[in-house]
Amino acid sequence: MSIYAIGDIQGCFDELLRLLDAISFNEQSDQLWFAGDLVNRGPKSLETLRFVKSLGDAAITVLGNHDLHLLAASCAPKIANKKDSLLPILEAPDRDELIDWLRHRPLFHFNDDFCMVHAGLPPQWDFKKTQKMASLVEQVLQGPDYQAFLKQMYGNKPNLWSSSLKGVARLRFIVNCFTRMRYCDVNGRLDFIHSGPVGSQPKGLVPWFEAPKRKNTDMRIIFGHWSSLGYYEGSNCYAIDTGCLWGGQLTALKLGEQVQRFSIDCPEAKKPRKNNLAAG
């Protein structure tokens, strides 16, 4: 069986199909790992969500910030904004089935060789802690009170890990690590302002995977979310959001002892914000 990790799709369904043709994906023998953000801003979020769901065990996806935004919008429609392209999903006849499937996706996936998250991990978490933190949020999202949490999910505080964090504050920090982080300071304090390429950040901030004393350096981590970073290999990490939505590429990484990259060029589905390809 071949395993391919695929970067952020964000509703670029036609490009996904072209990439699957390029890697000769076989639903019966291969498996796809999606790094989150299946939906939003691109033209075919509904088609993307239906297709990935239809793959069953041949596809595994971790939740990204845009996937969580869809879940929140399904509970409180006013959360959606003009930049979103979620309405076709929210008005679809199979909406409830799709939402239920999505909220049962994990934040963290792993096998014996690789781990996958959407955005990143704070330096204080090792593998065991990462598993535990992901499980805490997954239990809430998959439980009967998930709507209450989704309505309280948004916010940039707290931005520093502490074992004393409790309740919604702890859950929000966990979600922000798994789905939103890019830069942090040397203590692991999350920064939500800067999202440009490495080198554009102010003094005192480092990419999360270069934080000193990072306890998860032994994990081979695949992540997306950071399109201005582009494809990156280093620090035992693999960044695979190559900006398909913004006219970049859609990337699949064949996982093995030696990883193999496959990428296709994509038309620009949405214009990036000025001076910032990584619009989130």
Average pLDDT over residues 190-210: 96
Looking at the 3D structure of the chain, how many domains does it have?
1
pLDDT at position 268: 85
* Residue 279 counted as domain residue: no
Answer yes or no: are the C-beta atoms of 240 and 231 closer than 8 Å: yes
In a domain, 280, yes or no: no
- Calculate mean pLDDT across residues 240-269: 96
- Answer yes or no: is 79 within a domain: yes
Domain assignment present for 272: no
- pLDDT score for 194: 96
Find, among 269, 271, 197, the residue nearest to 239 by Cα. 197
Q: Are 10 and 53 in contact (CB under 8 A)?
A: no
Domain membership of residue 271 (yes or no) is no
Domain that holds residue 184: 2-265
pTM of the model: 0.95
Please report whether residue 40 resides in a domain: yes
pLDDT at 80: 74
Strands (E), 19-175: 31-34, 59-61, 109-110, 115-116
Instruction: Say yes or no to pLDDT of 276 above 50.
Output: no
Averaged pLDDT, 165-181: 98
Does residue 278 fall inside a structural domain?
no
DSSP state of 27: T
Percentage of the chain beyond pLDDT 70 is: 97
CA distance 103 to 163: 26
Residue 274 has pLDDT above 70, yes or no: no
Q: What is the pLDDT of residues 213-253, one digit of tens each?
A: 999 999 999 999 999 999 999 999 999 999 999 999 999 99
Give per-residue pLDDT as tens, 76-134. 877 877 777 899 999 999 999 999 999 999 999 999 999 999 999 999 999 999 999 99
Examine the pLDDT at 38 and tell me if it is beyond 60. yes
Classify residue 103: in a domain, yes or no. yes
In 3D, which of 7, 29, 3, 28 has the Cα closest to residue 16? 7
Specify the CATH number for the domain of residue 125.
3.60.21.10
Q: Shortest CA distance to 229 belongs to which of 214, 248, 203?
A: 248
